[in-house]
Amino acid sequence: MAIFDFLIGNMDRHHYEMFTKFGDDGFLIHLDNARGFGRHSHDELSILSPLSQCCMIKKKTLLHLQLLAHPDYRLSDVMRESLLEDQLSPVLTEPHLLALDRRLQVILKTVEKCIQIHGEQNVVATKPSEHSSPNSDQAGLAG
């Protein structure tokens, strides 16, 4: 959720909503995105604190982010194209679209730094049960 919020510049998510109607295996609901895409020129790095402090990311998420950083699938281009048919077009201004690319690079550099410090096997979760809770050494909380 922190990665999504950082990409859209959403600085006011105070809690996370979980959909659990059908049992304990719930999932996050992305509510309260009202401040998203507000200031295209400001990247609020504190939004990335869960990523930079815990240094954990799902492999599938990382692969998608890396793909969206590739010139052929650039996030701003994908968004621009997906919004062309919107009745409210233009939904996002060009500076907001370019901010997505800039912020994506910040996210990838954050993950890269985590991997350099902790090793890929400790940062990139390849199985759903991996890295379910950070240990104090990995979160940078050890003495």
- Residue ranges for the known binding site are 17, 32
Q: Is the peptide bond before 50 cis (omega within 30 degrees of 0)?
A: no
Structure tokens that stand for 14 in this block: 């105070």
Strand locations in 1-143, DSSP E? Answer: 17-19, 27-29, 57-58, 124-125
DSSP state of 130: T
Distance CA 132, CA 15 (A): 19
Q: Which residues are annotated as a binding site for Mn(2+)?
A: 32
User: Which residues are marked as active site?
Assistant: 12
- Distance set, CA 19 to CA 1, 69, 124 (Å): 14, 30, 25
- Helix, strand counts (H, E) of the chain: 6, 4
Distance CA 16, CA 3 (A): 13
